[in-house]
Amino acid sequence: MNEESFVRIGGIEQWVTIKGSCRDNPVVLVLHGGPGNPISPFADALYGPWEKDVTLVQWDQRGAGKTFGRNPDNAPLTIEGMAQDGIEVATYLTAHLGQKKVVLVVGSWSSVLGVHMAKARPELFQAYIGTGQLVRNPDNQIASYQKVMALARAAGDTATVTTLEALGPPPWINPRAFGTLRRATRVYEAKTAKPAPKAWWAPAAPYATDAAQADYEAGEEFSFIQFVGMKGDGMLSHVDLPALGPAFAIPMHFVQGSEDLVTTPEVARAYYDSITAPRKTWRLVTDAGHDPNESLLAAQHDILMTQVLPQTR
């Protein structure tokens, strides 16, 4: 099965791909991060081996990738609106594929999206598998800032220390501040985390055209501004998952890179400890940072195969 099409979601046409060896397999909806960084161009390299066991779905969210290319005049993005889009995608999949529920696999930005979706419509979802869990603003940014600052000082990295001191601690109004810290986290994660294979990030042929690349880059820029806001007032400023309440009606599984300097393990673990769910799992991956690598994907797949799929049978 290999379906690729625009689906009417949230009043606009949004790009959805559905791939797998058998239509009757459990459905896994992968929510990409960013926002504005669709996995669809890279899904075969990252998740292709999963397709023998599950039906794998990629969705270019509003403001991202092919969805942005089809709808370049987007209204401002909101967490609530994006979550409603995700619920519509899940509803479409259950009807289209004849399934009762789907599994959510999320990471980074989409961990916010996924929690909102699971809270609003738990009956649609078999389980949640979250990586790089965001929790609350500015808690995540403060922890990130402090940890990178400590590493830079310990390394005698005066350039990074000076840059971060010039930013000052979060929260920020300057829209460039988040990106400045993010670049520093990548430098220090690269010192201890295992990198992903370079082959992962070569887009599949349909996504490698000049037009597709232009749509990807334009959507990435649009979504990033929507995320941070021009005055620190974007979607990130409204992230507060504990405010949604600690009780979940579906199993909640967390996969966390021990070297993650964006969504630090300490903040993610405190949130994990605070929630209740029918089942929950915490998996700390010792050679992983915030971005996907082989170890993170292997941990996600193991939880899917040993904790989630047995419950669907």
Find all residues with CB under 8 Å of 160, minimum gap 6, and list them: 148, 152, 184, 187
pLDDT at 312: 72
Which of 308, 292, 263 is closest to 128 using CA atoms? Answer: 308
Contact between 189 and 206 under an 8 Å Cβ cutoff? The reply is no
155-186: pLDDT as tens digits: 999 999 999 999 999 999 999 999 999 999 99
pLDDT at 231: 94
pLDDT at 135: 98
Q: What whole-number distance in Å separates Cα of residue 240 and Cα of residue 31?
A: 19
What average pLDDT does the segment 43-47 reach? Answer: 96
Q: What is the pTM of this model?
A: 0.96
How many residues belong to the chain? 313
103-160: pLDDT as tens digits: 999 999 999 999 999 999 999 999 999 999 999 999 999 999 999 999 999 999 999 9
Q: What is the CATH number of domain 2-136+195-312?
A: 3.40.50.1820
pLDDT at 313: 60
In the predicted model, is pLDDT for residue 60 greater than 80? Answer: yes
Which of 164, 198, 165 is closest to 179 using CA atoms? Answer: 164
Mean pLDDT score across all residues of the chain? 96
193-216: pLDDT as tens digits: 999 999 999 999 999 999 999 999
Q: What whole-number distance in Å separates Cα of residue 269 and Cα of residue 267?
A: 5
